[in-house]
Structure 1
Amino acid sequence: MSVWDSIVGQQQVVEQLKAIASGDPKAIAQSWLICGPPGSGRSNVARAFAAALESPDHGLGDEPTKAAQQVLAGTHPDVTVLATNKVTIGIDEVRNIITTSEQMPSTAPWRIIIIEDVDRMLERTTNVLLKEIEEPSEHTIWLLCAPSAQDVLPTIRSRTRIVNLAVPSTQAVAAFLEQNGGFEPKIAVRAARLAEGHIGIARLYAKNEQVMSDRDELIVGVLGLRRASDAVLLAGNLIDNAKAQAEAEVKVKAAEAEADFRRVNGLGAKDRIPPKLRGAYNAIAKKDELKRQTTRLTRDVLDRALNSIASIYRDVAVLQNNAEDSVGLINLENRSSITELSVRLTRGGAVRRLEDIAVARRRLAGNGNPVLVFEALFCSLIAS
């Protein structure tokens, strides 16, 4: 298994980065912007590239070297990853990682800094980062990740080498789920189709029946909208399901963090926490931090819901333009109802509803009240 085996549907980019990692170190750009839609694997590409850069075999071997394994596992001393469960990346986090970037690597050729979701930075935070991106320390490489180059400030993207990722095909994602997740082919194919190329969501659908059931319920609900009361009820159900999913995921992550803390400190599951470790232990389960994580994850679930809703009108447009043979339908299980809707709506009506979904996404991004945003959206989707 090579360092690149976790990368799905990005063969052209992989070959490009392989050649760079194994080429002249003096010719390697030190600031990169890896762009791709959610789920395209941009963070995985950044990690694989970092592993290849730090590995003695430049990531060309059939099996990862010890250094590459450490990078991929997140334990390499010279590779730092800045990720966040919050809505934005804080300015203090960026200042701290800049300090790290200025240190010489301890065991590897490069000190590598990976920032996931650099688009989550506010402008003043990005300006703190700008000087380091423009003039990196001699032995430092920056790997920034964002959905697209347009999602970061022009001053940042003009100073980075941009790598654009494609949306992985349904076939590639399904094959990945079968080979790396052990899922049955039927489950893998359906999860990949509904995820629309998003690897993480495809994995979520494949392993979590409740999440898949919530999506099915949402699609049926949208297709059944007939009156304003339907819209209000559907919005309420969606918000409740989103909060429940987010809270469940945060609890799982908190439990994993507690288990890791106990393991690292040689404590059993029921051992009492020693007084000298209690402060660090309590920091794991801070109520404010868990609340922020729940808010962030709830937004992620609602954003995923918007993608699912948009897929209905994408399918309507496919049928209206007789393009099913060439591009297929996403919501095959609801083909009959979508066919009926494609007859009731004009082409302009389908496009207008996609625009309404985009408006709802902007309102959520602007901290609009989720209940009101989705009530308004669902009312606008009612087909006469």
Structure 2
Amino acid sequence: MSVWDSLVGQRQVVEQLKAIAAGDPKQIAQSWLICGPPGSGRSNMARAFAAALESPDHGLDDEPTRVTQQVLAGTHPDVSVLATDKVTIGIDEVRDLIGMSEQMPSTAPWRIIIIEDVDRMLERTTNVLLKEIEEPAEHCIWLLCAPSAQDVLPTIRSRTRIVNLAVPGAAAVAKYLEENVGAEPKIARRAARLSEGHIGIAKLYATDERVMTDRDELIVGVLGLRRASQAVLLAGSLNANAKAQAEVDAARQAAREEADFRRINGLGPDDRIPPKLRGAYNAISKKDELKRRATRRSRDVLDRALNSIASIYRDVAVIQNGAEDSVGLINLENRTAITELASRMPRAAAVERLDEVAVARRRLMGNGNPVLVFEALFCALMY
């Protein structure tokens, strides 16, 4: 399987980066900004590009090299990834990366540093990074990832080469789910449609029936909002589900990291951790770290809920404008209720409710109380 095979619906960008990775190293830009909406695969694109830059075959062969496997697995010594398990990226984390960027690569042509969701970086942290982006060390390449170029400071945009990813089509996502996740065709098609091109969410829907059920219940709940008491109950239920799912996800990740730690250090599942490794091992499952991860994942679940809610009023607008044949509905299973809502809701009211979803998203990003944010949103959505 090629290093690029996990990237869905991005053929044009893949061909562009393939050619660059295989070209003259002296002509390669050293600071990149890879942009794409959530779920488009920007982090996977960064890893694939890094693997192609580091591997002797430049990612052109069908069978991945050992270097490629290491980069994609996150174990290559010259490729560092800063992922966002926290709500924001800390300034100390960036300073550590800057110190690392000055070091010569140990085995590969480049020292590559990937920062996921650079838009989650506070301005003073971005300013610390700016000089390195402007004048990278001779053997270092920075790959920054963000939803769009407008989500990062103009000073970062102007000093990077920007790559824009497309939203994968439903057919491409469904094919990916069938071939790589083993989803049945019917489930794959539904998961692809409901995910609206978000690969990660599509995989979640295709593999976790509880998550799909939670979404179905949310859509029905929003369509049935008539009283403030219903809004309060729905907000409470949504937030309780988000918290529970986040805690489970955080614990699962910690378990995976503990297993990887044991494997990398040649330890079995039941082997005692040597004293010299105990500090690093314990850091994986520290309560504070698990709490931060759970908070981030809870926000991700709630953000996914906002996308699902917005899809209702998107579908209402599609029906009101007679565009169903050309663009289709996302919530086909709720077509009857959505059609009824579209018949009695003015077009302006549907747009106003999309604006209310955007307001709720901004409040969540501003660390607003999730329960209060959704209570206010659901009250505003009643019709």
Both structures adopt the same fold (TM-score exceeding 0.5): yes
Mapped partners of 1:271, 1:77: distance in 2: 26
Name the residue aligned to 1:76: 76
| Pairs within 5 Å for 1:146-165 | 146-165=146-165
Name the residue aligned to 1:354: 354
Mapped partners of 1:43, 1:142: distance in 2: 13
Mapped partners of 1:360, 1:208: distance in 2: 26
Name the residue aligned to 2:311: 311
Q: Aligned residue pairs: how many?
A: 383
Q: CA RMSD in A?
A: 1.2
| Pairs within 5 Å for 1:81-230 | 81-230=81-230
| Pairs within 5 Å for 1:360-379 | 360-379=360-379
TM-score, with normalisation over the residues of structure 1?
Answer: 0.97
Q: Secondary structure at the match of 1:32?
A: strand
Mapped partners of 1:22, 1:271: distance in 2: 44
Deviations 1:226-284 (A, max 9, x none): 11111011000000010011011111112222223333444443444454443333222
Deviations 1:76-124 (A, max 9, x none): 2211111120001111110111111111112221111111111111111
Q: Secondary structure at the match of 1:326?
A: helix
Mapped partners of 2:22, 2:278: distance in 1: 47
Q: Secondary structure at the match of 1:141?
A: strand
- Residue type matched to 1:74 in 2? G
- Residue type matched to 1:64 in 2? P
Name the residue aligned to 2:246: 246
Runs of 4+ in 1 over 2 A off after TM superposition: 257-282
Moved more, 112-121 or 264-273: 264-273
Mapped partners of 1:306, 1:271: distance in 2: 44
- Residue type matched to 1:161 in 2? R
CA positional deviation for 1:67: 1.7
Work out the percentage of aligned pairs sharing the same amino acid. 82
Q: What residue ranges of structure 1 are gaps of 5+ in the alignment?
A: none
Q: What residue ranges of structure 2 are gaps of 5+ in the alignment?
A: none
Cα 1:144/1:208, change in 2 over 3 Å? same
- Residue type matched to 1:298 in 2? S
CA positional deviation for 1:73: 1.6
Mapped partners of 2:273, 2:107: distance in 1: 35
Q: Secondary structure at the match of 1:358?
A: helix
- Residue type matched to 1:155 in 2? T
Name the residue aligned to 2:60: 60
Cα 1:363/1:213, change in 2 over 3 Å? same
Mapped partners of 1:262, 1:163: distance in 2: 37
Mapped partners of 2:162, 2:313: distance in 1: 32
Cα 1:131/1:326, change in 2 over 3 Å? same
